[in-house]
Amino acid sequence: MVKMDAVTVGDILKPARMSVNIEPAVEYVAIGIKSFGKGIFHYPPTPGADLGKLRFFRFPAGALALSNIQAWEGAIGVTSEADAVAVASNRFLFYVPVDKDRVDVRYLHHYFLGESGLAAIRGASPGSAKRNRTLGIERFERIRLPLPPIEEQRRIVDLVKTVDKVIEGARACLDKMTKLRSQLIDSIRVNGKSVLLSDVAVVSKGRTLPIECQGRQVGEVSWFKISDMSTPENLFGYRRAAARMTLHDIKQKGGQILPVGAVVFPRVGGSILTENKRIADVECAVDENHLVVSPNSGTNPEFLLGAIESLRLSSLVQTGAVPSLNMGLIRSVRLPWTTGEHQNALGEVLGVTRKYGATHTDYLRRLEALRSELLTALLAGEHQIPESYDDLLGA
* CATH classification of the domain holding 54: 3.90.220.20
Q: Tell me the three-class secondary structure of 248-296, residue by residue.
A: HHHHHCCCCCECCCCEEEECECHHHHHCCCEEECCCEEECCCEEEEEEC
In this prediction, residue 395 has a pLDDT band, given cuts at 50, 70 and 90, of very low
Q: Are residues 198 and 188 in the same domain?
A: no
Q: What is the pLDDT of residue 223?
A: 98
Torsion angle, alpha carbons of 104, 108, 109, 114, to 10: 140
Q: How far apart are CA 121 and CA 140, in angstroms?
A: 7
Q: How far apart are CA 83 and CA 90, in angstroms?
A: 16
Torsion angle, alpha carbons of 22, 26, 27, 33, to 10: -10
Q: Which of 147, 176, 211 is the last residue of a domain?
A: 147
Q: Determine the 3-state secondary structure of 41 from DSSP.
A: strand
Q: Give the chain's mean pLDDT.
A: 94
Q: Are residues 217 and 311 in the same domain?
A: yes
Q: Are residues 177 and 232 in the same domain?
A: no
Q: What is the pLDDT of residue 319?
A: 79
Q: Are residues 129 and 223 in the same domain?
A: no
For residue 18, pLDDT beyond 60: yes
Q: How large is the average pLDDT for residues 166-187?
A: 92
In this prediction, residue 127 has a pLDDT band, given cuts at 50, 70 and 90, of confident
Q: What is the pLDDT of residue 389?
A: 77
For residue 394, pLDDT beyond 60: no
For residue 120, pLDDT beyond 50: yes
pLDDT digits (tens, 9 = 90+) for 72-85: 999 999 999 999 99
For residue 384, pLDDT beyond 80: yes
Q: Which of 147, 176, 205 is the last residue of a domain?
A: 147
Residues in contact with 300: Cβ distance below 8 Å, sequence separation at least 6, in sequence order:
343, 344, 346, 347
Residues in contact with 319: Cβ distance below 8 Å, sequence separation at least 6, in sequence order:
none
For residue 118, pLDDT beyond 90: yes
In this prediction, residue 387 has a pLDDT band, given cuts at 50, 70 and 90, of confident
What are the two backbone dihedrals, phi and then psi, of residue 202, each rounded to the nearest 5 degrees? Answer: -105, 130
Q: Determine the 3-state secondary structure of 239 from DSSP.
A: coil
In this prediction, residue 390 has a pLDDT band, given cuts at 50, 70 and 90, of confident
Q: Are residues 206 and 326 in the same domain?
A: yes
Q: Are residues 138 and 215 in the same domain?
A: no
Greatest Cα-to-Cα distance within the chain, rounded to the nearest angstrom: 75
Q: How large is the average pLDDT for residues 19-34?
A: 96
Q: How large is the average pLDDT for residues 275-288?
A: 97
DSSP string computed for 127-146: --SSS-----HHHHHT-EEE
For residue 364, the enclosing domain spans: 150-192+338-395
- Strand 221-224 and strand 284-286: the pairing is parallel
- Looking at the chain, the whole-number percentage of residues with pLDDT higher than 90 is 88
pLDDT digits (tens, 9 = 90+) for 4-15: 999 999 999 999
Q: How large is the average pLDDT for residues 86-99?
A: 98
Torsion angle, alpha carbons of 292, 336, 300, 340, to 10: 150
On the CB side of 124, CA atoms within 13 Å amount to 23
CA 242 to chain centre: 21
DSSP state, residue 348: H
- Strand 221-224 and strand 194-196: the pairing is unpaired
Q: Are residues 69 and 143 in the same domain?
A: yes
Number of structural domains the chain divides into: 3
Task: List, as own/partner pairs, every contact residues 326-329 make where C-beta atoms lie below 8 angstroms and the sequence separation is at least 24, other chains included.
Answer: 327/203, 327/204, 327/205, 327/291
Contact 262, 286 (CB under 8 A): no
Q: Are residues 125 and 9 in the same domain?
A: yes
Q: Are residues 264 and 249 in the same domain?
A: yes
pLDDT digits (tens, 9 = 90+) for 288-337: 999 999 999 999 999 999 999 999 999 999 877 789 999 999 999 999 99
Q: Are residues 115 and 184 in the same domain?
A: no
Q: Determine the 3-state secondary structure of 22 from DSSP.
A: coil
Q: Are residues 11 and 139 in the same domain?
A: yes
Q: How large is the average pLDDT for residues 20-42?
A: 96
Q: Are residues 96 and 208 in the same domain?
A: no
What are the two backbone dihedrals, phi and then psi, of residue 149, each rounded to the nearest 5 degrees? Answer: -55, 155
CATH code assigned at 383: 1.10.287.1120
